[in-house]
Each structure stands twice: as structure tokens, then as C-alpha cells.
Amino acid sequence: MNFCAFIPEQWRAFNLRKQLCLTLTGLDYHINIPSDFLGGKPACLRTLQLGSVQLPLACPVLSTVTSVTLDGPADLQSAVSFSRLFELFPSVRTLHLKELREAFAKFLPRGPAPASLEPLTLMGVDSGYDVTPHYSDWRTDGLRDVSLQQEASSAACIDQLLSGARSRTLSTNFYLDSTDIIVHCPGGRRHSISFTDEEDIAHTAELVLSASSALQDVCAMEVPLGALKEFSDVCAALFALTDLTIPIVAEKPHPLNDATHTFYWDLLRDLGRVEQSCPHVDTITLAVQCPSIRCPPSLKDAHDLLEHLSELEGCGLSPGCP
């Protein structure tokens, strides 16, 4: 049975002597965790979900924790304590670090991470903060699900993040001012990086192209139609690529009106460039989608699609699934 403790703010000292809980969560204020936390002896604490914390020099109770969610340090004293993160949590399997700030990056542990760690999430909040070097320092063969999020559009170690993609799928998704790059690897492994303040698709394509040597086993790729022009050179550089899926998502002319939509079929002209530069691609699938079930693709949409495709001589396209 799981006992989930929500500790009131006035209990900040944490002088709890009975080892009751498997999960401690719900604390959104700064906490200095004492060495005698929850009695000071290894027990049954498995999940720790806190906000801002200062970690102790030692704390036996934390040695049994397998899931850790923390905000990054907000001051120098707390930052210094984060250098002991892996020593304090040697059994951690899931680690989520949010609100990471570049000013305190040097205080995060150098690694490697505990061999038990599988899912890892790092979220940077400063505009110039590249969190990929932390992944590089911490990565182990056991990491199965890596999710990095940052505002910085540079990624010094992106080749290491993407290098696990072997004969699976590389996906790129663009929405609002955010860009997501996701790779799926053998054994169910998944690595992703999100640039939360990136509107320059061409820059993102250049970033992926710079890591193309690590992606030579990628055989399937997904690129939205609006990014196809910029990513055509990436497709051309991946010689194992045989299957290309192109989501074509309708846009709503009015955000509050789900009854209408618009497709930008003229962007299909970039298919010709892909067909010419990527002879190794056998199948191109067009995945036509609408943002609302209230206004699905119409017969007119199908007619317009076929009309634009007929203008592209030499493009051997396989039927896609709606």
C-alpha cells in the first residue's frame, strides 16, 4: 500500500521519526533537508517530489529513493549541495530536474549517473543554457528514456543524444515557437530534445545535419510539410533512409472556430527536391490531418491534393493513411 504524505508548510523541520511513507510530494516551498530526515535510517521512502531544496551532506533515508523530481538550485548554497546528488540517491531510477539555471550548471554532478537510472528529464530555463553536456556526462548504457528541454538553440552534444537511433524513426515536430527532435532506438529506448524558443526551422535542420554521422542507421523519418524544404538536405545525408512520412496538418484560420480549416498544398512543391536528392527513399507517405474532428478533410481537400501531386512528375508516392 502506498502512503502519500502531503506535509504542511509549518512542518518544515521534518522531525518525523516514524518511517511511514513510500511517497513524499506536494511541497512547493524551499526546504533544507536535514541529515536525520524521517528518522535518519534507510527505510521505505521510494518517491521524492519536491520544489526548491538544499540537500544534506549525508542522509541515509534518501539512499532508498528510486524516483526523484526536484527544481534546480536557486541560490549558491543550494547549488553547492547538488554536487552530492548521485551520492545521496544511489538507487535512483527516475530523475526529473526542472528549472535548471546556467549560473549553477557547474555545481551539478559530473557523473556518470548511477547505473540504475533509466528515465532522465532535464529542463533548462535560461536562454543560453545548453543542457546536453549534462547528458553527455551522465549517460550510461541503462538510460532508456531521455528528455531534454532548453531555450538555447545550440546543443554541443546533440550527436551523442541522437547516436542511439538505429533502424528506427527520427521525428521532428514544429508547433508555435517550439521544436522537438525525437529519436527511437532499439530496445524501446527514446531520446528527445525540445528547443522551447526556436522558430528558425533552418537552424534546427543545420543542427541535425551536423549530427548526421550519428544517424546513418536511421531508416524511417517523419518531417512535417512546413519543414520539408529545410530538412531535404538532412534526408539526402541519411543514406539508410527508405521511408519518409510527411504530416500535412490543416491550420484553423480562426483559433476559436473549429468548423473551417486551410491546407497549404503549395508546399508540396518541395517533394520534387526530395525525390531528386534522395534516390534511396523508397516510400513517401503523406499523412493528412485536421486539428478538429468537427471539420475532417473533405472531398475538395482530396481533389486539391491530387491536383498538386499531378504537377510533380517523377514523384512515386505511396498512399498514406489519413
For residue range 42-73, what is the model confidence (pLDDT) as tens digits? Answer: 778 999 999 999 999 999 999 999 999 999 99
Tell me the C-alpha to C-alpha distance, in Å, between residue 78 and each of 14, 30, 113, 282.
18, 10, 20, 54
Q: How far apart are CA 140 and CA 138, in angstroms?
A: 7
Q: What pLDDT score was predicted for residue 28?
A: 74
Q: What pLDDT score was predicted for residue 318?
A: 45
Query: What average pLDDT does the structure give for the chain?
Result: 85
Q: How far apart are CA 149 and CA 157, in angstroms?
A: 14
Does 8 share its domain with 71?
yes
Strand pairing class (243-249; 220-222): parallel
Q: Does residue 13 carry a pLDDT above 90? A: no
Does 16 share its domain with 88?
yes
Establish if 159 belongs to a structural domain: no
The pTM of this model reads: 0.84
Establish if 17 belongs to a structural domain: yes
Establish if 195 belongs to a structural domain: no
180-185: average pLDDT: 88
Establish if 160 belongs to a structural domain: no
Does 32 share its domain with 137?
yes
Chain segment 119-158, per-residue pLDDT in tens:
999 999 998 899 999 999 999 988 999 999 998 888 999 9
Q: Which domain holds residue 282?
A: 166-189+200-322
Count how many domains the chain has. Answer: 2
Does 142 share its domain with 221?
no
Does 170 share its domain with 289?
yes
DSSP element (H, E) containing 231:
helix 228-237
Does 52 share its domain with 13?
yes
